[in-house]
Amino acid sequence: MIFALRPSEKSGRPTLWIPLVRRIREPFKGLWALPGGPLTHSESLQDAASRNLRDTTGLAPNYLEQLYAFGGLHRSPTQRVVSIVYWALVQPTEAALADESENVRWFRADRLGELAFDHNAIVDYALWRLRNKMAYGSIAYHLLGEYFTLAQVREVYEAVLDRELDPANFRRQVKATPEIEETDQYLQGGKHRPPRLYRFTGRPGLDPDNRSTP
Amino acid sequence: MIFALRPSEKSGRPTLWIPLVRRIREPFKGLWALPGGPLTHSESLQDAASRNLRDTTGLAPNYLEQLYAFGGLHRSPTQRVVSIVYWALVQPTEAALADESENVRWFRADRLGELAFDHNAIVDYALWRLRNKMAYGSIAYHLLGEYFTLAQVREVYEAVLDRELDPANFRRQVKATPEIEETDQYLQGGKHRPPRLYRFTGRPGLDPDNRSTP
DNA sequence: ATTAGTTCTAGTCAATTTGACTATAACTAA
DNA sequence: TTAGTTATAGTCAAATTGACTAGAACTAAT
């Protein structure tokens, strides 16, 4: 499953969106579902996740991490299925390149209808993990582009945590983290004082299993 | 994989131990490996982990959680294997019941030799996760019995984090967590002032996928 | 019975971090 | 020139943390 920021239709502020694909066969024909597909013999779990993502939505995320392996007995009405779910964060420029069509569409992550299989539960778990990682860690920056303002970082936190944060105190904390680098560029074009641009210099934190083929 | 506390042979202080099973066939015949086994069609992932654990070591842990799904291409020299690894914490009384034999033995988690497959990497990852969960969360109590002293909790933290903690400050923090309940019992038998016994009242924090069969 | 040795436990105090708030800076649009 | 807006720095009290002190409560040795 993929998270990206998109402006809310009402307020215009950034909110969390995920792309879903429509089921074109039974079971759950016509319902929306998380993109996915089979694991072949010649690819690692992470490679399979990347490939399935690219094939269904055209997306190539810069942040991809294993979420959880779901293996309950009755996840699909027709057969036993074990799904090893990965989740991704994509930057706005990447997200804009996604192939949208009749059967692939973006939805607000907090306003989904009934999905196929147990996918509502999977989305809920991913949202919970995202909020947790956000609180302590440097994951928010993967939803932004290379350069960003501190106000944009705050908006990401506000969108994910769903509460407002004090701008001044938030600045102080973010600036205290060593992975945030001040540039000498400013974002022009607003109707107000132009904010300084910053850059994230940390590494994504690799998964234990994604060392490539030897 | 299973973690339990056992007294160090030298200092007598509690340290982390895990049980391993000896490989009795190729590949890696003769080497030690994590206990495990196949997933059948009629059991959930968690049920399969419990069953395999019971069959190989006789253990029935009170805390069992999914660790990670390992699916690299070359984990086994003979075939493609995907392992969905669970980890468990057992209390000392439970751990003492484990079936030890020629082919099942406990080892100190930080002093393992070369294990079969990629199992060294799996243990390392589990230790990393354990340290992380310990720092923020209430996982330590599942390594202890129902009643414990605050010094015992501190020893668990010291064993896992591998550094000494100030007894007085540690007390203050633990006592501030609402899930720790003071009893009116005291542990007798030491050569010093008897410490008060406490009890943990929190819930283990369920996995997203371990709702049982409907 | 007294004393030494041990850990348990409560407390002090300065240093650090957090949360709420104020004030000025720097831009655009009217 | 002025009003409106956000950016940014700073202040101050409250809360938390880390280092430390000291008395309490037991056992074991004298």
Contact between chains at B66 and A66 (C-beta distance less than 8 A) = no
Cβ contacts of A82 on chain B, cutoff 8 Å: 39, 45, 84
> Which residues make beta-bridge pairs with B115?
B32
Nearest C-alpha in B relative to A121: B208
Instruction: State which H helix or E strand residue A161 sits in.
Output: helix A150-161
Residue B196: how many CB atoms within 10 A of its CB?
Answer: 13
Q: Choosing among B44, B130, B206, which should be mutated to test the A contact, i.e. which has the most A CBs within 10 A?
A: B44
| Confidence bin at A214 (pLDDT 50/70/90) | very low
Please state whether strand D lies within 7 Å of residue B74 at its CB atom.
Answer: no
Nearest C-alpha in A relative to B48: A71
**Residues A114-143 pLDDT 10s:** 999 999 999 999 999 999 999 888 999 999
Contact between chains at B211 and A72 (C-beta distance less than 8 A) = yes
Q: Which amino acid is at B150?
A: L
**Residues B167-190 pLDDT 10s:** 999 999 999 999 999 999 999 988
Residue in A44, A68, A136 closest to B73 by CB? A44
Nearest C-alpha in A relative to B124: A208
**Residues A153-206 pLDDT 10s:** 999 999 999 999 999 999 999 999 999 999 999 999 889 999 999 999 987 777
**Residues B54-89 pLDDT 10s:** 999 999 898 999 999 999 999 999 999 999 999 999
Contact between chains at B82 and A213 (C-beta distance less than 8 A) = no
Nearest Cα residue to A205 out of B3, B178, B128: B128
Q: How far is the CA of B131 from the C1' of D25 (A)?
A: 34
Backbone angles phi, psi at A67, to 5 degrees: -95, -60
Nearest Cα residue to A89 out of A15, A139, A162, A135: A139
C-alpha to C-alpha distance for B184 and B110, rounded to whole angstroms: 37
Is B131 in a helix, a strand, or coil? helix
pLDDT value of residue A212: 41
Closest nucleotide (C1' vs CA) to A171 is D8
Q: Render each residue's pLDDT in chain B as its tens digit; 214 residues.
A: 999 999 998 888 999 999 999 999 999 999 999 999 999 999 999 999 999 999 999 998 989 999 999 999 999 999 999 999 999 999 999 998 888 999 999 999 999 999 999 999 999 999 999 999 998 889 999 999 999 999 999 999 999 999 999 999 999 999 999 999 999 999 998 899 999 999 999 887 777 875 443 3
The separation between the first and the last C-alpha atoms of chain B, rounded to the nearest angstrom, is: 28
Q: Which of residues 180-199 of B touch strand C (CB under 7 A)?
A: 186, 190-196
pTM here is 0.94
Please state whether strand D lies within 7 Å of residue A175 at its CB atom.
Answer: yes
Residue in A71, A121, A209 closest to B45 by CB? A71
B146 by Cβ neighbours in 10 Å (0-12 / 13-18 / 19+) ranks as exposed
Contact between chains at A209 and B70 (C-beta distance less than 8 A) = yes
Instruction: Judge contact between B206 and B154, C-beta under 8 A.
Output: no
Nearest Cα residue to B167 out of B150, B148, B145, B185: B150
Residue in B43, B208, B211 closest to A125 by CB? B208
Q: How far is the CA of A171 from the C1' of D8 (A)?
A: 9
Q: How far is the CA of B191 from the C1' of D25 (A)?
A: 11
Nucleotides of D under 7 A from a protein CB: 4-10, 17-22, 24-28
Sheet holding A196-200, edge to edge: A147-148, A196-200, A180-186
C-alpha to C-alpha distance for A139 and A205, rounded to whole angstroms: 9
Chain A residues bordering chain B (beta-carbon distance below 8 Å): 39, 41-45, 66, 68-74, 80, 82, 84, 121-122, 125, 136, 208-209, 211, 213-214
